[in-house]
Each structure stands twice: as C-alpha cells, then as structure tokens.
Amino acid sequence: MERPSDSKPLLEISGLHTSFDTYDGKVRAVDGVDLAVHAGKTLCVVGESGCGKSVTARSILRLVESSGQIESGTVTWNGDLFDGTGEAFDVLSLADGDERLQKLRGGDVGMIFQEPAASLLPLRTIGAQLIETLRIHTGLDKRAARKRAIELLDSVGIPDPARRVDAYPFQLSGGMCQRAMIAIALCANPSLLIADEPTTALDVTTQARILDLIRSLQAEHHMAVMFITHDLGVVAELADEVAVMYLGRVVERASVEELFADPKHPYTKALLASVPVLGRDRGRDLPTIPGAVPSPLHRPTGCSFHPRCAEAIAGKCDVDDPPEVDFGNGRTAECVLYETEGVRS
Amino acid sequence: MVRYLGRRVLYMAATLLAISLMVFVIINLPPGDYVTALTAKYNVMGQGLTESDIVNLRHRYGLDGNLLQQYWHWITQIVLHGDLGMSFEHEKPVAEVIGPRLGATIGVSFITLLVTWGLAFPIGVYSAVKQHSLGDYAVTTIGFLGLATPNFLIALVFIYFSVTWFGSVPSGLCSPEWCDAAWNLGKLLDLLGHLWIPMLVIGTAGVAGLVRIIRNNLLDELQRPYVTAARARGVPEKALLRRYPLRVALNPFVSTIGWVLPLLLVGDIVVGQILSLPTLGPILLGSLKSQDMYLAGSVIMVLSVVTVIGTLISDLLLGWLDPRIRLGHQR
Amino acid sequence: MSLKESEGIEPEAMTANPADVQRTRASQRELVWWAFKKHRLALISAWFLAVMLVVIALCEFVAPFGDRHRDSEYTTAQPQVLKLWDTDGPDGFRFGLHVDGYTSTQDPRSLRITYEPNPEDRVDVGFFVKGEEYELFGLIPMDRHLLGPKDIDDPMYLLGTTTDGQDLLSQMVYATRVSASVGIIGVLLAFLLGIVFGAISGYFGGWIDNVVQRIIELIMAVPSIPLWLGLAAALPSDMGPIARYFIITTILALVAWTGLAREVRGRFLALRSEEFVTSALLDGSSHARIMFRHMLPSFSSHIIAALSLSIPGMILAETALSWLGMGLRPPAVSWGVQLQDASKWSVLSGAPWLLIPGLCVVLVVLAFNFVGDGLRDAADPYKH
C-alpha cells in the first residue's frame, strides 16, 4: 500500500490538550494527542466511550462546549482554503472572529454528528438549513442556491428531493436526516469530512447504506475523511489508517491491514479479541476486557491501561509513563513492551 | 389550522359556560341574598317590608326560584339580551359600573404585559448567554426576590418611599387637571407618569417569572446538538444565536401569555385599591363581600373571558411559530 | 489470542477510586442527599427552615411576650437597639444586656405621639427571664422566655410596636407559626388530593383520565384569587379563629391541588408502560397496591421537590388573602394580618418597621424555593 508519509498531511493535530471544568475537578478529556489526516485518505479514530475521540474531533474546529477549553496544542491546516490562499495556519491560534475559521467550518471542513435529527434545527426545513450553508460559503443567490440544494439532496440519495427540500427534520427518518446532514456538510466541496460516530444512532442496514454513501462521495470528490467510531467493523470497512485511543491518548497508530493483522498495543489486542467471530467462540464465554474504563478524574499512575492489561509489568507499568515507540512509516504504539524495538519518541 | 382554531373556540365557550356555573354557585354560597340584607336594612330604619314587597323585590331582581332557575335567568339575560343585570350595591346597571373601568383594566393589563415581555426577554437572553457573569447573578438574584415578594408589599414599600421622599403618593391614573381633559400629548405624558407605578408593582412577579423561564429554556437549548452542528457549518455567532437556540426558546415563552395575563389581572385585584386604580379589581372585593351577585359574577366572567382569550391567542401564536404543532407531530 | 487473566492486576485496583466504589453501592436516598449537599444555597436554606421549625415548636418560649400582650402606653413605638454596655449611667461604664427606654413627644397639631429612645432610662434585658405564663406544646406549664425584659412591666420592643401596642417581634413569632403551617398543611392537603386524582387519572387512562383532566382544566381556568375570595367570602364573619384557620387552609388547598395532580398524572402515564408494572399486575397485585407501593415510591424524591416548591405559592396566597381581610382575621395573627397594620399611608410613613413581617415572607418563600430547587436537581441522582 502506498504510504504518503513524505507528503504533508492535510490536517495535523499536535500535542492537543483539552479539558473540562466539572464540579468534581478538571477532567483532561484529551491528554496529549497527535494525529494526521492525509488528503484523500480515511483515518478512523477508534476507542470506547469516554476515551476523548469526540472531543478531539470537536477541538479541531473549536467546537468544544463552554465548560471545556483547549489548553494547548496546534491544529495545522495545510490545505488550500476555499478562496485559494495557500498558507498553512494553526486553527487553534486564530482569533475568534477570524474569517479563516469561518471559511474552514462548513467550507473546507465538513462535519457530521451522531444524532442526525437532533443536529438539525427542528423549526426550519432541511432545505432552509442547506440553503443557508450554501449561501454562506458559495454566495449563490436564493434561487440558484435552492436549485443546488435539490441537486445535493439528490446526490446523497434522498428520493423526491424537490419535495423533500421543504420537509422538516421531524418528518424524515434517521437515515434520511443523516443523508441531509451529509449534503449540508459537503455542499461547499470540503477537502476534509469529519464524521463523529454518524451511524451509531442508526440501525444496521441504514448504517451500511450511509457508509456506502460516504465511500462513494469520498471517491468522487477526492475527500479526506476522519471517522470517529467505536465499531471495529466500520473500521475494517472504511479505514485506510487507524488510530486507537484510550483515556485521552493515542495508544496505537497503524494502517488498517497492519492493525488487524498485527496489533501491537495490549489494548488493541484486547479490543480485537473481544469482537465475536461467527463459529470461533461457540461454547465459550464472550471474551471481554476485565475491569472498567477508569474515570478521567482518577487516572491510574503510569500507563493508564495497566490495571486492565494482561501483559502489564508490575513496578514499571504502574510507575512510569509508557514511551511512544515509532516503528517507522507512521506505525506507533505507546507501550513499554516495545521499548527496545523501535525509535523512542 | 382552521379546524384547530374551530375546536379551540368551541372548547373556550364550553369552558366559559362551566366557569359561569361554578362562579354562580360560589357567589351564592353565603346564606341569604341581597333581599335579605335589604330587609334587614329596612328593619333597622324602622320601615318594615311586607311579604308581598319581598316577593316582588325578589322577582324584580331575579332572585326567586331555586339556584338553578336563578342561574338560568342570569345566563340567558347575558347571552340573549346582553343584560348583565343590576348592581345592588351601586344601584346602577352592572354594565354602567363595569363599563368605564373595563377600558382601563384591559389597557393597563395589556400595556403591562407588553412591557413585561419587552423587559423579560432581553434580560433573560443576556442572563443565559453570559451565564455565570456578574450580570447573570444579579439578574437571578433580583428575579428570585421578585418572585418571593407579594405585590402588595412592593406597593407598600413604594408608597413608603414616595411619602417619605416626595410627601405624597401619585394615585390613580391621572392627575386632577388631566382627568377630564381631552386626549392630547399632555394627558398622555401624565398617564405614563402614573402608569409606571402599577406596572412596576403588578408586573414584577411576571417579569421575574418570565426571565427565569426564558433563561432556563435558552440555557437548555444552547447545549443542544443542533447549535454545535450549526456552528460547525460556519454560521456566524450572532446569527447563530438568533436563528437557532433563541428561535426554539421563544416557543415556550410565547405560551406564557396564558398565565401572565391572569397574573396581571389578579395583581390588579390586590393592588388596585391601594393605588386607587380605576380598574375592575377594586370593585370585585366589595361586590363579593356585599353579595352583589350580578356585579361580582360579571366581573369574574370578564376576567375569565380575557384570560381564556389570552390563552387562545398564545396557543395560536404557538401553532404559528412551531411547525411541529401545526403539522400535528407528536413529540 | 486469549488473555492471561491470572497475570493481571487485582480487580479492586481497576475501579481506581474508593469513592467511586462507595458511590456504586449507595442507595438512592444517599445519592439524593449527596447531590443535595452540593447545592450550597439549598443547604443554607434548609438550615434556615430547620431553625424556623424549631422556633415554631417553641413559639411561646421564643417570643418575649404572649400573643395577647398589649401595651397601650407604647403604641407604634420604634424598635429598640439591643446593647451590651453603656456609658450613660451615673457610674460610667456598665456592662449588661439592655435597651434604652422611651420618652414620648406629642405633636401639638396632629396629636400624634412619637417615641424616642431615652438613653438615661435603661431597661435591663436577660435570657431565660420570667415572663407571662404559657403552656409549652400545650402541655408543660412554663413561664420562662428566651429573651425578655428583666422586669416584666418594662418595655422591650426589639422590633417596635404595632398601632395597637403589641410587640412586633412577639407577634411575628406567632405569625410565623400560623403562616408557615398554613403553607405546609395546605400543601399536604393539596397533595393528598393531587396524588389520588393524579394517580387514578394517569394509571387508568382512557375516559377516567379524560374526565379528571377536564375537571382539572376547568378549575385551573378560573382565576385563582377571585375563586379564593369567593369561597372566603362565603364564610360567616363570626367564625372562630381556629375554625377559620382550617377552612382557609382547606380552601387554598382545594384550588392548588390541580397543578400537583397534573404532574403526578404525567409521571404515572409515563411509568404505566414500564415492565415492573406489568410484572406486578401479573403477580396479582391490586391496582391500588401497584399505584401506591410500586409506582409512587419511584418518584418520591420528585414529589418531595414539588411539595417544597408549592409551599411558597400557598404562603403568598394566604398572606394576600389575609391582607385583603378575607383570610385570617384578628385576633389570629399571620404575616398577612400583620401587614394590614402597615397599610394606612399616614401610619406607614412614620413607622416603616411595620413592614418587617413582609421581610419574613420573602425570606421564608425564598428558602422554600431554594430547597425545592435543590431537591429537584438532586431528585435525579442517576441523571448525572
């Protein structure tokens, strides 16, 4: 598989720290995350609920809720801005009213969310919301925007788009709402689509169709996709590259084939082992990862996974922070077991 | 939409009818009636009334027959003849007693309602958007106080300061020189000068309640996924606030007319006397105490009608604003 | 690839925090209490109300004078400041709790008498002084009062006196008992009605629900104060204060139960389709048993929150009603009755202390509101 490790990534997240102020203290939801998305490729970010993957995605466009703040890090955008300026810049350092942030949101970077019906304003038609976004980013007049809106709805597979453009979100099914959201996210031809668990709230058949849609649109527009999910099946279907997160940190990075064939980090291994396989696990208990994800307020000392790790080394894993080992070609794992193998970061 | 409206109007009429029955029964709870009191009065004056006098009086005032017959007489008089009956206490037709005060009541209530809304909305929005700021804490505190203080207490405190600092209290709605004058700018200014006092006293609880509602609703809406999604699309912040969460929070706010209006009317009852307002409130109390049946009944019916119409208007507004209700979606 | 569990770390370490473990084992009541404690304002209010309840129970002891005490020598006298020492006596510095007595002056034109503090007339004040006799809790005869003048005939009026010469402070203490209890008892009564009707309406649904709902809407459509006024006006004016107290409370409850019934009904409707109800039915439980032993306890914290939030409305209603003269009447005393005294402009301008009972209303209403808010937020401990 060709590895564009020399070309600059479209989006580069470096040293991201995002935390929330809660009544019980400060929660470090994202605790030092580095990620890269390359043009035209799909990066899947996998992890259990609460590992910080959603917060990471939201931090990119600075959409973190008011109780949270991005403490440090950079999010470098290397793509062409919609208006053609070629300078790379750090999204996090932009002033609030900076035009570039506005252009990025919905223009060069489209984002879709987990609950499609809840992500649309219930009081306005989907057409109105689509047209609004179109007019913000493309400056079309009302009639042209409406025409384009109908075309877009058609391209995402909504039947009878000329009528549906005037429908309200509550009149559409979950799958159709998600399609509408995708249409809105893509209306300005973004170079990156961030998808935050878009199919989690949908049934399996609809999920498959939405994934197909995303794949075909990606190929058609040569778009990069950053897909957040907890479902390894989706990862297998969609991903080019995978990043596994646990408790706010990226514990492993690999291409999709490498991850499934040769997982390095014990957490990844445990995740893969817990996926039930037809025929294999007959007569046995379903394998699980023992214990529960600790509260981010009370992180275990040393490696945050060590209390649940089958290969933990007492005296080392519960004391020192694990090193991030680079195996080359973008493959990394944050574990003490590979200390001697690769280059330490 | 027309069906919705039609159903509501029908329902309204039925409610008013039922209210009238209930009100009539309650008013007639105290033993005896006006004629009994009249007889006692005449006895004290030394002029006794003969039996036939009493029977005639009863018939004349519609007080003969059992309770149901009396009710029927009263209701048919109103609905069929537009005759509200006689006020015994004031010795005039009820319509003459209520009439001049009706305009003032509706006027004061309506203006207070508008001002209440006009104040509550921006304060509530500010409080929600700048949550945890000093302004927010100030607003919330004053709001709590406003809700906890009986409105006559506010009136009393106000009167205390007025007397102590200015030596007098502006009462009523007009100063002597303007009361009988024709409408012009001077009269209007004088009216406003008098109006702000009842508005302050009567409207406080309303403003406090409304601010709380819009603040809480907006805070809820600001957390919703569609706000984040809209921001992710690049909608500019100010437009975002206006078109998305504010729009949604507006709906329950509109439906508050339903209870703010009765609140204002009720406030008038309690405070109207102390401020000598020429509204319906002050005469209600007297009419209940003296069992001035037709007057009391009519006043309460008027208040109920205004309330019910207010609720209808707010329901209509709500239906217009919220497509989910218009299109019959079950949430 | 299988996990070598025997090489793993002990399960206890996995939950990482003993407090979290405790939380997973806590009962619902404990969770509600912990959540409530976090609400500082609610907690302070709860303590305030607890103190109020103690005052109510020990009314006669706390009040310096009895409730019928009247001092015609000092009417509408201003409040006296409690002092710990003074330097006005003949011996220079003196230590001891006291207030300054009064000198009176009469305005020659209006004939109005005003009282001013006279530092030379010292009235000694003490704790646990002998005063008027009373029966604590109606049983124990006592004559000690928490605070009062050492000589029972001396004037000690920390909050001034009313136009009738009654000690405002003592009257306020008695009024607290009346007003607060009307609020609480009224709400409890309203609740009884509300729970029964709401439960029946929500549980059975169908036409029963329809009928009850229509009745509720009807009662709610009538403006409440005229309704109260009408019902109160029907009471004979020679009714004794105790009977009047109960009837007024009942009237207030009769109008207020509707809101609570609606809320209870909503919850029952929602819970009706839960599985534990079906299984209880299949077990053969009677409807009444299911409603009151199974469903009701599941939202008991919500009910308690709603109770607390309804009390302010009740207190405000009684205050307004009594102030209008239609509720409680003298010799019964409530905050509303006390405020009637302050309602004559000519009196009020010279005697602003007569408005202090109003402050009581505000504080108690605020306290119940905060406690109710705190309870409501804490009532869903699983929400967080």
What pTM does this model have? 0.77
Chain A touched by C7 (CB under 8 Å)? yes
Chain A touched by B130 (CB under 8 Å)? no
Residues of B in contact with A108 (CB under 8 A): none
Contacts 24+ apart (CB under 8 A), A138-143: A138/A187, A138/A188
Q: What is the pLDDT of residue A228?
A: 94
Is C320 close to B152, i.e. CB distance below 8 A? yes
Average pLDDT (B59-81) is: 75
CA B307 to the chain's CA centroid? 7
Is A136 close to B329, i.e. CB distance below 8 A? no
Between A144 and C227, whose confidence is greater?
A: A144
C27 band by pLDDT with thresholds 50, 70 and 90? low
Q: Which residue of B has its CA nearest to A125?
A: B323
Please state, rounded to an integer, the average pLDDT across all residues of chain B.
79
pLDDT over threshold 70, residue C224: yes
Q: What is the pLDDT of residue C9?
A: 40
Chain B touched by C218 (CB under 8 Å)? yes
Q: What is the pLDDT of residue A27?
A: 87
Find which of B132, B224, B226 to mutate to test the A interface (most A CBs within 10 Å of its CB): B226
Is C230 close to B270, i.e. CB distance below 8 A? no
Q: What radius of gyration do chain C's Cα atoms show?
A: 28
C289 band by pLDDT with thresholds 50, 70 and 90? confident
| Residue listed under structure tokens 């990025």 | A104
Find which of A24, A272, A308, A313 to mutate to test the C interface (most C CBs within 10 Å of its CB): A308
Chain B touched by C345 (CB under 8 Å)? yes
Sheet holding A68-77, edge to edge: A25-37, A11-22, A68-77, A89-90
Is A120 close to B229, i.e. CB distance below 8 A? yes
Q: What is the pLDDT of residues B174-210, one digit of tens each?
A: 666 666 666 677 777 777 777 777 888 888 888 888 8
Smallest Cα distance from C230 to chain B, Å:
6
Q: What is the pLDDT of residue C365?
A: 92
CB atoms within 10 A of CB B147: 22
Considering CB atoms only, which of B231, B244, B329 is closest to A170?
A: B329
Between A142 and C133, whose confidence is greater?
A: A142
pLDDT over threshold 90, residue C259: no
Q: What is the pLDDT of residues A106-140, one digit of tens each?
A: 888 999 998 888 888 888 888 899 999 888 888 88
Smallest Cα distance from A109 to chain B, Å:
9
Is C5 close to A290, i.e. CB distance below 8 A? yes
Q: Which residue of C has its CA nearest to A268?
A: C1
Is A111 close to B229, i.e. CB distance below 8 A? yes
Considering CB atoms only, which of A270, A289, A312 is closest to C9?
A: A312
Chain A touched by C240 (CB under 8 Å)? no
Chain B touched by C229 (CB under 8 Å)? yes
Highest mean pLDDT among A283-292, B110-119, C65-74: B110-119
CB pairs under 8 A between B and C: 118
B291, B87 Cβ separation under 8 angstroms:
no
Q: Which residue of C has its CA nearest to B163?
A: C349
A253 band by pLDDT with thresholds 50, 70 and 90? very high
Chain C touched by A312 (CB under 8 Å)? yes
Q: Is C141 exposed, middle or buried (0-12, 13-18, 19+ CB in 10 A)?
A: exposed
For chain B, give the percent of residues with pLDDT over 90: 0
Residues of C in contact with A284 (CB under 8 A): none
Average pLDDT (C121-150) is: 80
To which H or E segment does residue A250 belong? Answer: strand A249-255
Q: Which residue of C has its CA nearest to B153?
A: C358
Find which of C229, C322, C377 to mutate to test the B interface (most B CBs within 10 Å of its CB): C229
Residue C354 vs residues A9, C30, C340, C343: alpha-carbon distances, Å: 77, 44, 9, 9
Q: What radius of gyration do chain A's Cα atoms show?
A: 21
Chain B touched by C111 (CB under 8 Å)? no
Backbone phi and psi for residue C161, each to the nearest 5 degrees, phi listed first: -125, 165
Is C223 close to B303, i.e. CB distance below 8 A? yes
Considering CB atoms only, which of A58, A133, A170 is closest to B233?
A: A133
Residues of B in contact with A172 (CB under 8 A): none
A82 band by pLDDT with thresholds 50, 70 and 90? low
Q: What is the pLDDT of residue A85?
A: 61
Is B248 close to A123, i.e. CB distance below 8 A? yes
Q: Which two tokens stand for residue B167?
A: 């030596």
Q: What is the pLDDT of residues B249-270, one digit of tens each?
A: 887 777 777 778 777 877 877 7
Please state, rounded to an integer, the average pLDDT across all residues of chain C.
79
pLDDT over threshold 80, residue A66: no
Q: Which residue of C has its CA nearest to A291?
A: C14
List domains and CATH numbers for chain A: 7-108+190-278+325-345 (3.40.50.300), 119-187 (no CATH)
pLDDT over threshold 50, residue A174: yes
Considering CB atoms only, which of B225, B234, B323 is closest to A107?
A: B234
Gap between the Cα atoms of C174 and C330, Å rounded: 12
Between B17 and A44, whose confidence is greater?
A: A44
Q: Hey, which residues does B93 pair with through a beta bridge?
A: B86
pLDDT over threshold 50, residue C8: no
Smallest Cα distance from B116 to chain A, Å:
26
Chain A touched by C6 (CB under 8 Å)? no
Residue window 302-331, chain B: list those with CB within 8 Å of chain A: 321-324, 327, 329, 331
Q: What is the pLDDT of residue C13?
A: 41
Is A294 close to C15, i.e. CB distance below 8 A? yes
Transcribe A285-320 into DSSP letters: PPP--SS-PPPGGGPPSSSTTGGG-TT--TTTTTTS
Is C365 close to B148, i.e. CB distance below 8 A? yes
CA A182 to the chain's CA centroid? 15
Average pLDDT (B109-113) is: 85
Is A121 close to B247, i.e. CB distance below 8 A? yes
Q: What is the dihedral of CA A260, A262, A267, A273, to 10 degrees?
A: 60
Cis-peptide into C331, omega within 30 deg: yes
Q: What is the pLDDT of residue A4?
A: 45
Per 3-state DSSP, what percentage of chain A is helix, strand, and coil (rounded to 5)? 30, 25, 45
Is A103 close to B329, i.e. CB distance below 8 A? no
Gap between the Cα atoms of C189 and C365, Å rounded: 19
Q: Is C236 exposed, middle or buried (0-12, 13-18, 19+ CB in 10 A)?
A: exposed
Q: What is the pLDDT of residue A343?
A: 60
pLDDT over threshold 90, residue A42: yes
Chain B touched by C348 (CB under 8 Å)? yes
Interface partners of chain B (CB pairs < 8 Å, 3 or more) are A, C
Q: What is the pLDDT of residue C14?
A: 43
Q: What is the pLDDT of residues C260-279, one digit of tens each?
A: 888 788 778 777 777 777 88
Residues of C in contact with A298 (CB under 8 A): 16-17, 20
Q: Which two tokens stand for residue B221?
A: 């809406």
Contacts (Cβ under 8 Å, ≥6 apart) of C238: none
Please state, rounded to an integer, the average pLDDT across all residues of chain A.
85
Q: What is the pLDDT of residue B179?
A: 67
Chain B touched by C227 (CB under 8 Å)? yes
Residues of C in contact with A309 (CB under 8 A): 8-9
Q: Closest Cα to residue C81, out of C55, C103, C101, C61?
A: C101
C187, C314 Cβ separation under 8 angstroms:
yes
pLDDT over threshold 50, residue C16: no
pLDDT over threshold 80, residue C372: yes
A46 band by pLDDT with thresholds 50, 70 and 90? very high
Find which of A60, A63, A121 to mutate to test the B interface (most B CBs within 10 Å of its CB): A121
Find which of B224, B233, B238, B243 to mutate to test the A interface (most A CBs within 10 Å of its CB): B233
Residue B149 vs residues A249, B143, C319, C372: alpha-carbon distances, Å: 53, 10, 11, 17
A224 band by pLDDT with thresholds 50, 70 and 90? very high
Q: Closest Cα to residue A49, out of A246, A227, A269?
A: A246
Considering CB atoms only, which of B30, B157, B303 is closest to C226?
A: B303
Residues of A in contact with C15 (CB under 8 A): 291-292, 294
Sheet holding C113-136, edge to edge: C83-89, C92-106, C113-136, C140-149
Average pLDDT (C171-200) is: 88
